[in-house]
Amino acid sequence: MLSRTTTAFAAWLVGASAMAATGVPTQDLKGLSDPPGITRYTGSVLLYRSDAAYDEVSFPTSKPVDKDGQPFAPKTLAGAGQRTALQYLVPADKSPLEVLRNYQQEYKPKGFETVYECANLEACGASNINLHAYDLGKLLFPANYANAVGDNSPAACSGGAFIGDLRYAVLTNKATGASMAVMAWKPGDVSVFCDEKAFKARASVLLVKVEPKAREQKMEVLSSSDMGRSLDATGKVAIYGILFDTNKSDIQPASKPSLDQIGALMKQKPGLKLHVVGHTDNVGGFDANLALSRRRAEAVAAALAKDHGVARDRLTANGVASLAPVQSNADEPGRTKNRRVELVLQ
């Protein structure tokens, strides 16, 4: 005989499932539409969209591995510019392979060639427990995806747990520099608040595309006097006007005004010695970002020595990757603030 508690819980479970089940939508969710240049699989419904005017993206082109508790892809295709991420639910009984092949066929005449492809969870390095939270999925889905879709939205229902038949490909257009990743899968177990049978019959698609675009310059160049005041008051100053190529330590020409002001500060204060510290966001592997942040700091110190005559013994270059964020890395505005060079008093 069931206990009163067990019977009550079972009744709640059945009742919750019956009255609150999220069904498969028949049209795009309110407020969502395809951005220009994006073609969807015929009959698909758009469940999620995330855009960034400027973002850095590293598409895995190798199986991710665990590194310091975080997924890390030994090989990636990196890009920076205008980024969009879209999640669709395709019509019933269409396989992830059929969907992926249609995307490849559709975008090939537009100049996109497949540079990497994998099939199944093991080969792709993806988790079947929670696709967006681990391994390949964590490297592809926008950082704020879970908060944006919640637990029982159509996007969450189409994700599912214990997914199957995963397909993944990376495409690039050498002529335009654009790149995109397409991942398709079949959801497995879904929330009790979802119409499980209906969602299981449909494949889901995540498409992430990045188009080369110059970053809009919003940061004002700090004057040497402003830098000096910040150093006197706090012992450090953040410099946002020093820009680098994506995943590289090459300093962009637009950085010259900021470097000129640092050079002027060093001449005004001949006894000043500084740590030049590189900071990154948390996109990508920690070890790679640590090495990158140090190379960028060294590039700044070298530029100050070469172009402004600053003695190298007055500058010590170091990198701390994402260890000292000033804002959350959950969205692009926060990541932008975290990517910086800081000057710190020795």
Asked if residue 266 and residue 118 are part of one domain, the reply reads: no
Q: What is the value of pTM for the model shown?
A: 0.64
Query: What's residue 335's pLDDT?
Result: 86
Which is it for strands 164-172 and 179-186: parallel, antiparallel or unpaired?
antiparallel
- Residues 160 and 235 reside in one and the same domain: no
Domain that holds residue 108: 17-212
- Domain boundary, last residue among 185, 212, 239: 212
90 close to 204: Cβ distance less than 8 angstroms: yes
Confidence (pLDDT) at 6: 46
Number of domains within the chain:
2
Q: How confident is residue 214, by pLDDT bands cut at 50, 70 and 90?
A: low
Give start and end residues of each alpha helix (H) in 54-207: 96-107, 121-124, 135-140, 145-149, 154-159, 196-200
- Assign residue 316 the CATH number of its domain: 3.30.1330.60
Average pLDDT, integer, range 194-223 = 84
Residue reference for tokens 């497949």: 114
Same domain? 207 vs 294: no
My answer on whether 41 and 65 are in the same domain is: yes
The candidate with the shortest Cα–Cα distance to 278, out of 334, 229, 231, 316, is 316
Per-residue pLDDT, 31: 93
Same domain assignment for residues 208 and 330: no
**Nearest alpha carbon to residue 262 among 271, 251, 244, 274:** 274
| Domain co-membership, 40 together with 157 | yes
Question: Can you tell me the mean pLDDT for 15-29?
Answer: 74
Q: Distance (Å, rounded) from C-alpha 22 to C-alpha 191? A: 9
Cβ-based neighbour number of residue 11 at 10 Å: 10
Residue 308, helix vs strand vs coil: helix
Give the model's pLDDT for residue 216: 61
Q: Cβ distance 155 to 48 under 8 Å?
A: yes
Per-residue model confidence as pLDDT tens digits over 233-287:
999 999 999 999 878 899 988 899 999 999 999 999 999 999 999 999 988 889 9
Q: Which of 157, 213, 112, 188 is nearest to 17 (CA)?
A: 157
In a domain, 3, yes or no: no
Averaged pLDDT score across all residues of the chain: 88
One-letter amino acid for residue 3 of the chain? S
Does 186 share its domain with 303?
A: no
Q: Is there a contact between 239 and 276 (Cβ–Cβ < 8 Å)? A: no
Q: Tell me, yes or no, whether 97 and 168 share the same domain.
A: yes
Residue owning tokens 């953040």: 238
Q: Is residue 12 part of a domain?
A: no
Together in a domain, 181 and 230:
no
Last residue of a domain, one of 158, 186, 212: 212
Mean pLDDT of 152-161: 86
Res 12 pLDDT > 80: no
Residue 269 identity: K
Comparing 176 with 161, the larger pLDDT belongs to 176
C-alpha to C-alpha distance for 275 and 265, rounded to whole angstroms: 14
Q: Is residue 276 part of a domain?
A: yes
Report the pLDDT value the prediction gives residue 218, as an integer from 0 to 100.
Answer: 58
In terms of domains, do 234 and 190 share one? no
In a domain, 7, yes or no: no
Q: What is the pLDDT of residue 290?
A: 95
Token pair belonging to 218: 């919003």
Residue 140 lies in a domain: yes
> Are 138 and 170 within one domain?
yes
Question: Does 11 reside within a domain?
Answer: no
**Backbone conformation region of residue 12, classed left if phi is above 0, alpha if psi is from -120 to 50, else beta:** alpha
Residue 273 lies in a domain: yes
Checking if the pLDDT of 15 tops 80, the result is: no
Residue holding tokens 């059945």?
A: 14
Residues 252 and 138 in one domain: no
Question: For 331, how many CA atoms within 13 A lie in the half-sphere containing its CB?
Answer: 8
Round to whole Å and give the CA distance between 313 and 131.
Answer: 49
Three-state SS annotation for 32-95:
CCCCCCCCCCCCCEEEEEEEEEEEEEEEECCCCEEECCEEECCCEEEEEEEEEEEEEEEEECCC
Domain boundary, last residue among 181, 212, 243: 212
Over residues 275-329, the pLDDT tens digits come to 999 999 988 889 999 999 999 999 999 999 999 999 999 999 999 999 999 988 8
The single-letter DSSP state of residue 298 is H
